[in-house]
Amino acid sequence: MSRRLRRLPVLLLPIVLGASLVACGSDSGSDGSDSDSSSGDALHGITITGDVGKAPKVDWNGKLDVSKTDSEVVTKGDGDKIAEGDQVVTHIWIGNGATQKQAYSTYDEGQTQTIPASSDLNPVFKDAVLDQTVGSRVAVTATAADAFGESGNPDMGIGNKDSVLIIVDLIDSTKVLDAPQGKEQPAPSWAPGLTTDGDKVTGLDFSKAPKPNGKLLSAALIEGDGDVVKKGQTITVNYLGQVYKGAKPFDESYSKSPASFAIGAGAVIPGWDKTLVGAKVGSRMILAIPPAEGYGDQGNAQAGIKGTDTLYFVVDILAAS
């Protein structure tokens, strides 16, 4: 299940989630300016203009020649400071410093990208997000190898010997709960029991649960006291999934870190889209998902799920934006 919980395009995964890359540390540039343009030392004479939230205009100063990662705040926002664990709504622009051409832009895609603010982010990207303020535009210059790894990013037209300019607009941020927050509710008769360790769910107990009835079912075990989740939002959750009578979970996030993904947009199995839209932030949901609303007749062999298996999930909704 976790492999379907990534909303970021494949093109952006290495630069944002590059924990596995052997990347150099980042040397921060200036600590910010209230100006709407910049051509400071970190940018090697490059000038960036335009309003945050709109596609930037970049005037290159010839070929970008860099040997290390550097960052500079082009426009300093007056919003909240972004802290570890926040869910951050961004626009991202990437240019090839060798060709002085745009390589990628979320503005062209017509949608923002939501990422987790974490010290585990690729060092090239981390300084553009953590401890910055909402409303800011931050620029990063780096080698392609530091940004994407030894192969560069051929899909973006960026070779491994090229340099890159990355512009990150910090549009909004949402605090992520540590655990469900709300009022406990009686468990429905169809639901399995929960095995827990503090706030973490470690498994499901089907010893007293009836056989699945083939219907898509959902209920709040904890009714959250936050906002209602809307279609198209990005939600951050902890979850555990187990097939009916399964001996152990086939996937879970409680022992790792919460997952973020678009909801109601086809990014996850239909049963999640249909049950989590309309739930409240802070809720702990229990779901029973028949094959037709899960992985269909083909199942998911990699996860050990057969085409006849009913899936049960516990989902803690920790944030939505």
pLDDT tens-digit readout, 115-137: 888 888 888 889 899 999 999 99
pLDDT tens-digit readout, 27-67: 434 344 444 455 568 899 999 999 999 999 999 999 999 99
- Using CA of residue 91, residue 72, residue 145, residue 256, what is the dihedral sign? negative
Give CATH 3.10.50.40 domain extents, the chain: 2-174, 182-320
CATH 3.10.50.40 correct for 182-320:
yes
- 118's CB contacts (< 8 A; 6+ apart) are 84, 85, 126, 130, 257
CATH topology for 2-174 is Chitinase A; domain 3 (3.10.50)
Report in angstroms the alpha-carbon separations of 270 from 47, 291, 296, 309: 45, 10, 10, 15
pLDDT tens-digit readout, 234-252: 899 999 999 999 999 999 9
In this predicted structure, what is the pLDDT of residue 116?
82
Q: Are 193 and 205 in contact (CB under 8 A)?
A: yes
- Report the percentage of the chain scoring pLDDT > 70: 88
pLDDT tens-digit readout, 216-225: 999 999 999 9
- Report the percentage of the chain scoring pLDDT > 90: 73
3-state SS, the chain, equals CHHHCCCCCHHHHHHHCHHHCCCCCCEECCCCCCCCCECCHHHCCCEEECCCCCCCEEECCCCCCCCCCEEEEEECCCCCECCCCCEEEEEEEEEECCCCEEEEEHHHHCCCEEEECCCCCCHHHHCCCCCCECCCEEEEEEEHHHHHCCCCEHHHCECCCCEEEEEEEEEEEECCCCCCCEEECCCCCCCCEEEEECCEEEEEECCCCCCCCCCCEEEEEEEECCCECCCCCEEEEEEEEEECCCCCCCEECCCCCCEEEECCCCCCCHHHHHHHCCCECCCEEEEEECHHHCCHHHCEHHHCECCCCCEEEEEEEEEEC
Label residue 17 by pLDDT band (50, 70, 90).
low
Of 25-39, 57-71, 72-86, 194-208, minimum mean pLDDT range: 25-39
pTM of the model: 0.69
In this predicted structure, what is the pLDDT of residue 41?
80
Cα distance between residue 269 and residue 306, in whole Å: 15
User: Does residue 70 surpass a pLDDT of 70?
Assistant: yes
